[in-house]
Amino acid sequence: MPYAIVIVPVAPLRATAAHKSEMISQLLWGEGVEVLETAAGGWVKVKNEYDGYIGWATAVHLETVDMSLLQEPATHYLSGWVNKVLVNGQPMMVPYGCLLKNGDRHTADWGTRHLEWEGQPEAIRQAAQADPAALKAAAFTFLNTAYLWGGRSVFGVDCSGFTQAVFKLMGIPLLRDAYQQATQGDTVDFLVEARLGDLAFFDNEEGRITHVGILLNDHEIIHAAGKVRVDAIDNQGIINVDTGLRTHSLRIIKRLLA
């Protein structure tokens, strides 16, 4: 199984080959992986083709495919909050934003799995034509989604999983963790210069970047903290609109939209 594709709605990616191990990220339906190593109990160490993240998954969540399938570019995404997909004739509910290769065909074959999906998936935007309004609409699809460490979907998401998922639909790939995403894009010097779609990053007392969110303007941010929520932001950082307490210290702002 050198190359495989994810065949369940959401698969945990763990730090070690054990169900009790920390979930460090997730693999989403339709994502391709390279299998790096196998272990007892049906565990496989994999590298996610989308963001390069490495961890342990269970082989039952994967289907072996040819490398050529993984090399095909994703063209569309499933645009419902949940989406009904038939897998060998049986229904599966797949979360918002899962990618499709040749998604306009309405059917696909992944190894032994024959897939059919309803409706018309949305085309992934080209990065050069990314629309801030469309990005905002995608972000608000996650509104009130519960925070989940390692999460990457509307079923549960962490801060960098949220930003990665939203930008993915704009054709802009982000790395997995907040400190990695902070290396991407162009620096915006002042909050007053911020635009819809800019990323704001926040650090802890040791100076390590630990949080990220999407700026709506120069005084509001949507981010995953407890749940995906809209809060106030100023030059010092985020202010929880429910409690009035300052929760995150602003470090840097980056721009990825043209």
Sequence-ordered list of residues with C-beta below 8 angstroms from that of 190, at least 6 positions apart, any chain: none
With helix as H, strand as E and coil as C, how does 40-63 read? CCCEEEEEECCCCCEEEEEHHHEE
User: Can you give the residue ranges of every domain in the chain?
Assistant: 1-124, 127-255
The token duo for 133 is 């309004």
43 neighbors 9 (Cβ within 8 angstroms): no
Structure confidence at residue 36 (pLDDT): 97
Cα gap 175→194, rounded to integer Å: 21
Structure confidence at residue 238 (pLDDT): 98
- CATH code of the domain made up of 1-124: 2.30.30.40
Structure confidence at residue 130 (pLDDT): 77
The token duo for 146 is 């519960």
> By C-alpha distance, which of 69, 86, 61 is closest to 8?
61
Per-residue pLDDT tens digits for 42-86: 999 999 999 999 999 999 999 999 999 988 999 999 999 999 999
Structure confidence at residue 215 (pLDDT): 98
Q: What is the pTM of this model?
A: 0.96
47 neighbors 33 (Cβ within 8 angstroms): yes
Question: Residue holding tokens 């095909």?
Answer: 72
The token duo for 103 is 């998604």
Cα gap 163→240, rounded to integer Å: 19
Helices and strands in the chain, H and E counts: 4, 23
Structure confidence at residue 128 (pLDDT): 67
Residues of the chain with pLDDT under 70: 1, 128
Structure confidence at residue 1 (pLDDT): 65
Q: Which CATH number fits domain 127-255: 3.90.1720.10, 3.30.310.80, 3.40.228.10, 3.40.50.300?
A: 3.90.1720.10
Task: Give the CA distances from residue 151 to residues 2, 87, 90, 154, 222, in Å, rounded to whole numbers and listed in that order.
Answer: 25, 24, 26, 9, 16
